[in-house]
């Protein structure tokens, strides 16, 4: 019998880009995210001090100390509320853990729409699961991480957490958020690449507006259910839009139209990749942006400026806002050789218009959450990747 128990683990979980399919996940629609090489790394050690815990944020040089018996949800500052949310949720599931000492740091710019919070939560939970051998399935960790965001006040869908746990290097994910079935497929971008342009805008409004969008979708679903037999907006087709128009207010119709057409775009982008038609992928990204801007109204003037500038440049095949909206990053599909000259021109004009900088962020498609190292109580060390 193996009597060794884990003493220490180091894990990491990534942020994500989303190629197409925004504001569709919480309507059980389709999304096409990919995990990226920017992430949050957690090192966790079992404490020899009963139920006492400490968590140190390397990047902010702040420490949070608490007794695990006293943790409540979730009125702390900044990152500490995510720690509370995960621990409270584990407790609610009847999972007992003992004290630990943790430290973490991240490479994802906060508030940039590439899921720094999902990466933090996923990494922390993944680390606890490894350290205490909790035997949680991936899907349990995904749902628990999503619920942690709900506890903090963002009624988010499942996309960010799903891809943070399940992403794979060089592969995009096509996820059906209703059934949770997914496909990971190779994307060949040839002489192009994905590039992020961070608007460096992070609106306070984002969380409350996000929840309002979700409420509107739920209210609209109830109305549509009187006319069409569906369980979620994700089941609707573009051909249903004429019927829907009659049962919704013009305002609700705009929102639902986005969800239905964006879902369709996810499938069209999948086909375009299959046919190696990157021009078509780019066009669909631009269309997605227009809809997020005009129908869903979650863009902002800075991101629109970036996307408009892209349209005038032949080196960019497509661009769009990404994630929840109201700032953060735009995702571009751009010719590799033109990145430098394009970025210089854009940054100059952007500064001229807004009097602050935007920044470019080169990313690669990376793996989902994993354990990096682990050591046992008898100083036996294994390196798992």
Distance in Å, CB of 337 to ligand GLA, minimum: 31
Q: How far is CA 69 from CA 43, 97, 98, in A?
A: 22, 10, 9
Nearer to ligand GLA, 23 or 192 (CB): 23
Directed axis angle between helix 250-274 and helix 206-225, to 10°? 100
d(CA 166, CA 278): 25
Nearer to ligand GLA, 234 or 323 (CB): 323
Distance in Å, CB of 217 to ligand GLA, minimum: 11
Nearer to ligand GLA, 9 or 256 (CB): 256
Asked if residues 129 and 67 have their Cβ atoms less than 8 Å apart, the reply is no
Q: Residues for the chain: how many in total?
A: 385
Distance in Å, CB of 206 to ligand GLA, minimum: 9
Distance in Å, CB of 241 to ligand GLA, minimum: 20
d(CA 288, CA 339): 22
Nearer to ligand GLA, 324 or 366 (CB): 324
Lay out the sheet containing 327-335: strands in order across. 316-321, 327-335, 192-202, 359-362
Distance in Å, CB of 156 to ligand GLA, minimum: 3
Task: List, as own/partner pairs, every contact residues 373-379 make where C-beta atoms lie below 8 angstroms and the sequence separation is at least 24, other chains included.
Answer: 373/9, 373/10, 374/6, 374/8, 374/9, 374/10, 374/130, 375/6, 375/7, 375/8, 375/9, 376/4, 376/5, 376/6, 376/7, 377/4, 377/5, 377/6, 377/7, 378/4
Pick the catalytic residue from 45, 160, 191, 338: 160
Distance in Å, CB of 223 to ligand GLA, minimum: 22
Distance in Å, CB of 146 to ligand GLA, minimum: 8
Q: Is 133 a catalytic residue?
A: no
Sign of the dihedral through C-alpha 272, 303, 114, 210: negative
Site residues (CB under 6 A) for ligand GLA? 22-23, 25-26, 156-157, 159-160, 323-324
Q: 151: which 2 tokens?
A: 């506890």
Q: 135: which 2 tokens?
A: 């035997």
DSSP code string of 221-251: HHHHHTTS--SSGGG--GGGHHHHHHHS-HH
Q: How far is CA 329 from CA 112, 145, 152, 189, 262, in A?
A: 6, 23, 22, 20, 19
Nearer to ligand GLA, 101 or 112 (CB): 112
d(CA 122, CA 145): 6
Nearer to ligand GLA, 23 or 289 (CB): 23
Nearer to ligand GLA, 9 or 173 (CB): 173
Of 138, 107, 132, 125, nearest in space to 38 by CA? 107
What amino acid positions are annotated as catalytic residues? 160
């Amino acid at each position: 019998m193996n009597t060794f128990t884990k003493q220490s683990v180091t894990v990491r979980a990534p942020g994500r880009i989303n190629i197409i399919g925004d504001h569709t996940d919480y309507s059980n629609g389709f999304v096409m995210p990919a995990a990226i090489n920017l992430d949050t790394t957690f090192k966790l050690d079992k404490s020899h001090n009963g139920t006492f815990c400490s968590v140190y944020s390397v990047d902010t040089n702040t420490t949070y100390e608490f007794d695990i018996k006293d943790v409540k949800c979730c009125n702390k500052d900044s990152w500490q509320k995510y720690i509370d949310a995960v621990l409270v949720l584990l407790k609610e599931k009847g999972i007992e853990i003992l004290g630990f000492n943790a430290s973490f740091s991240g490479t994802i710019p906060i508030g940039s729409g590439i899921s720094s919070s999902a990466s933090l939560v996923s990494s922390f939970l993944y680390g606890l699961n490894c350290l205490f051998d909790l035997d949680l399935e991936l899907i349990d960790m995904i749902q628990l991480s999503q619920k942690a965001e709900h506890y903090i006040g963002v009624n988010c869908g499942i996309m960010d957490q799903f891809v943070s746990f399940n992403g794979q290097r060089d592969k995009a994910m096509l996820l059906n958020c209703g059934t949770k079935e997914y496909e990971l497929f190779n994307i060949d971008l040839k002489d192009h690449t994905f590039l992020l342009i961070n608007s460096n805008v992070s609106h306070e409004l984002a969380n409350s507006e996000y929840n309002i969008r979700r409420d509107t979708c739920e209210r609209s679903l109830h109305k549509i259910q009187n006319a069409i037999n569906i369980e979620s907006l994700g089941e609707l087709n573009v051909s249903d839009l004429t019927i829907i128009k009659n049962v919704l207010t013009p305002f609700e119709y705009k929102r639902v139209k986005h969800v239905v057409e964006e879902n369709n775009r996810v499938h069209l982008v999948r086909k375009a990749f299959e046919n190696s038609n990157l021009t078509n992928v780019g066009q669909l990204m631009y269309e997605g942006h227009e809809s997020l801007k005009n129908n869903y109204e979650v863009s902002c003037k800075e991101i629109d400026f970036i996307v408009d500038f892209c349209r005038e440049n032949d080196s960019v095949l497509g661009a769009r806002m990404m994630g929840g909206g109201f700032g953060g990053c735009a995702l571009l599909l751009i010719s590799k050789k033109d990145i430098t000259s394009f970025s210089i021109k854009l940054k100059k004009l952007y500064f001229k218009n807004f009097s602050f900088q935007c920044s470019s962020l080169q990313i690669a498609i990376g793996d989902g959450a994993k354990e990096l190292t682990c050591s046992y109580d008898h100083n036996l060390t294994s390196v798992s990747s």
